[in-house]
Amino acid sequence: MFSELIAGTMRWGIWGANHSERKVQELIEVCLEENITTFDHADIYGNHTTEELFGNAWKEMKIDRERIQLISKCGIVMNSEKKPSTLKYYNYDSDYILNCVNESLSNLKTDYLDLLLLHRPSPLMNPEEIAKVFETLKAEGKVKEFGVSNFSVSQFELLNQYFPLVTNQIELSVNHLDSFDNGTLEQLMIKKLRPMAWSVLGNYFTSNSEQNIRLKKIIKKLCEKYNANENKILLAFILKHPSKIIPVIGTSKVETIRKLKQSLLLDIETMDWFKILEASRGTEVD
């Protein structure tokens, strides 16, 4: 149902590249050429403006709605010019979720979302109330599937008891490997669900930490061995996990989208995978 790579739009608008509508159309075109048909949004991206930027762009392209899948997220209340708030907090009250979805549909210029994610877990989440809202949204045809993001194993399990979830979108990269040890990936595998991963490049390109110095040493060698760039090796590391992780790629550049697509074909050897794991952890396995 979702493409093997998902295009993350968080940095396409004013939280990143500040692309024009025309440039967003170019990115969408390239994604579709590369069979990246799923686009990841959240109500808050670009201070509540990026969904609208995307919506205006894709609507003019006259793309068949069935050809793309739109994901959005709700639950984080944050201050912006468009939606002022005196506090950043989480809200999963029925009315709030319903209102968020209606706004996302209007901004994205669509009748339905393929997937709605609860953006962050909140101590105040009431699974029964949330399940009722999900049922309403599904019955109205406004949302096809539901999932969560950044949920722990028990938080996922709780909500899933009330309503069948289809994924947990989690942070996962060579710099952030908690999900290898905290049961999240196994939980989804048991349920035959595919995880989605955000920030798959981690802080590899933006921090000179000891961890990254170790990682760069090994990854640069692997670039030569596999005739690949660092982005591809970073992605190939995640893609080798048997839980069939779907990476949400965050680039705002046409050429990087094309290059990353080729990572799907790169299967690094098991020993090389463990070299990266060792560099990430800073210790060899027991």
Round to whole Å and give the CA distance between 257 and 234. 14
Instruction: Provide the token pair at 60.
Output: 């003019």
State the nearest-atom distance from the C-beta of 284 to ligand NAP, in Å: 26
Helix axes 210-226, 270-281, angle to 10 degrees: 160
Per rule CB under 6 A, is residue 11 in the interface with ligand NAP?
Answer: yes
Per rule CB under 6 A, is residue 149 in the interface with ligand NAP?
Answer: yes
Site for ligand NAP in 21-60 (CB under 6 A): 40
Site for ligand NAP in 187-246 (CB under 6 A): 198-201, 205, 231
Stretch that binds ligand NAP, among 9-17, 77-85, 128-136, 276-284 (CB under 6 A): 9-17
8 Å CB contact between 159 and 170: no
Per rule CB under 6 A, is residue 155 in the interface with ligand NAP?
Answer: no
As annotated, the active-site residues are 45
Mask 66-105, x = binds ligand NAP (CB under 6 A)? Answer: ----------------------------------------
Tokens 């396995």, residue located: 285
Q: What is the DSSP string of 78-116?
A: ---SSS--SS-EE---HHHHHHHHHHHHHHHT-S-EEEE
Please identify, using beta-carbon distances, which residue of 17 and 131 lies nearer to ligand NAP: 17
Which of 46, 57, 65 shows the shortest CA–CA distance to 20? 57
DSSP category for residue 109: T
Q: Which residues bind ligand NAP (CB under 6 A)?
A: 8-11, 16-17, 40, 119, 149-150, 169, 198-201, 205, 231, 248-253, 256
